[in-house]
């Protein structure tokens, strides 16, 4: 791989929650960074503080259309990631996953550069094994309301590995588990931001289902460290889970948020949405072995940082 300190890197979805943090990290490491985003769910505010950096560029562009840039590497993060947003326009979500993957892979093939795919734990569907290792093929409802995202990401992985096998494209694939931190969108419907916003307003905290379903939450700084380690490590042409292996029930999470915010909120329960997985717990043995990576920021510390961010927005 070329000297990591001198690369010109394209980040699709660069104005999103994860993308903006990745832009920051790569700039801090000395790279030139191009953020490409159509601002469907990303926000100009997320990257406004970077615009004055001479090594940073931003382009408004929809990745479902080809882009012709000269770069040394690509991170493909473009896709709405919360059910509220990806279910709003499921056809466009599928196009972003599939056509977007084809376009970034075509660019990587033409330029002969490394390309990183931000995949997801949702490719495992409602899992029948726990924790979920990369060898697990998943349990996805291909015609359900979440399929535009779940199957779209699965199709994108297929394209990445076919481009690698057929054309020799140098790929990296990260399967991202639940991540949280500053710059989560207020309206994205994700559980951590929902709970914090409701708690800060002393409103009822809404849990869908009985509250016993589990998720494993990774703080954003840890995840970005995993991205960087994976991208800059040679010869890893297998999917790698990135997430926190410590699960928590939704009821426990709601109580933690109430305690940390000193909120007067009460917990209320509503019907569980269709195809909502009961369990999310990554097996990160591969990340530990290949990248020497595991989360280091504990949940309480991460939650407090996220609470401070949303408090400042109020």
Contact 207, 265 (CB under 8 A): no
Catalytic positions, written as ranges: 149
What DSSP string describes 150-213?
HHHHHHHHHHHHHHHHHH---EEEEEE--EE-TT--TTS--HHHHHHHHHHTTPPEEEESSS--
Rounded CA-CA distance 181/224 in Å is 11
Which CA distances in Å does 18 have to 23, 116, 210, 219, 263?
9, 14, 30, 11, 28
d(CA 16, CA 248): 26
Name residues whose C-beta falls within 8 Å of residue 266's C-beta, 6 or more positions apart in sequence.
Answer: 204, 205
Cα distances (angstroms) measured from residue 300 to each of 37, 204, 252, 296, 311:
32, 21, 12, 12, 16
Q: How many CA atoms lie within 13 A of 30 on its CB side?
A: 4
For residue 189, the cross-strand partners are none
Q: How far is CA 111 from CA 107, 152, 221, 233, 288, in A?
A: 6, 25, 30, 19, 31
What is the phi/psi pair of residue 151, to 5°? -75, -30
CA–CA gap between residue 147 and residue 155 (Å, rounded)? 11
């Amino acid at each position: 791989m070329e000297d990591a300190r001198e690369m010109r890197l394209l980040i699709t979805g660069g104005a999103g929650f994860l993308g903006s943090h990745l832009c920051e990290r790569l700039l801090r490491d000395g790279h030139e960074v191009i953020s490409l985003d159509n601002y469907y769910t990303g926000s100009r505010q997320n990257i406004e503080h970077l615009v004055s950096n001479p090594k940073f560029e931003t382009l408004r562009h929809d990745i479902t259309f080809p882009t012709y840039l000269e770069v040394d590497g690509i991170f493909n993060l473009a896709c709405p990631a919360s059910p509220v947003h990806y279910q709003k326009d499921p056809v466009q979500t599928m196009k972003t996953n599939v056509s977007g993957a084809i376009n970034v892979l075509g660019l990587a093939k033409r330029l002969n550069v490394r390309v990183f795919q931000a995949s997801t734990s949702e490719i495992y569907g409602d899992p029948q094994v726990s924790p979920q290792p990369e060898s697990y093929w998943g349990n996805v409802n291909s015609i359900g309301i979440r399929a535009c995202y779940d199957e779209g990401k699965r199709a994108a992985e297929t394209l990445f590995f076919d481009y690698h096998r057929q054309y020799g494209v140098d790929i990296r694939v990260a399967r991202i588990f639940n991540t949280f931190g500053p710059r989560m969108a207020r309206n994205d419907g994700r559980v951590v931001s929902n709970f914090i916003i409701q708690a800060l307003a002393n409103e009822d905290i809404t849990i869908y289902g009985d509250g016993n379903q589990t998720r494993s939450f990774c703080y954003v700084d840890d995840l970005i460290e995993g991205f960087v380690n994976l991208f800059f490590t040679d010869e890893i042409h297998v999917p790698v889970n990135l997430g926190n292996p410590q699960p928590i029930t939704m009821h426990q999470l709601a109580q933690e948020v109430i305690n940390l915010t000193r909120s007067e909120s009460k917990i209320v329960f509503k019907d569980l949405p269709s195809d909502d997985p009961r369990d999310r717990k990554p097996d990160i043995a591969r990340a530990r072995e290949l990248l020497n990576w595991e989360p280091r920021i504990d949940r309480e510390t991460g939650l407090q940082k996220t609470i401070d961010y949303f408090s400042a927005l109020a």
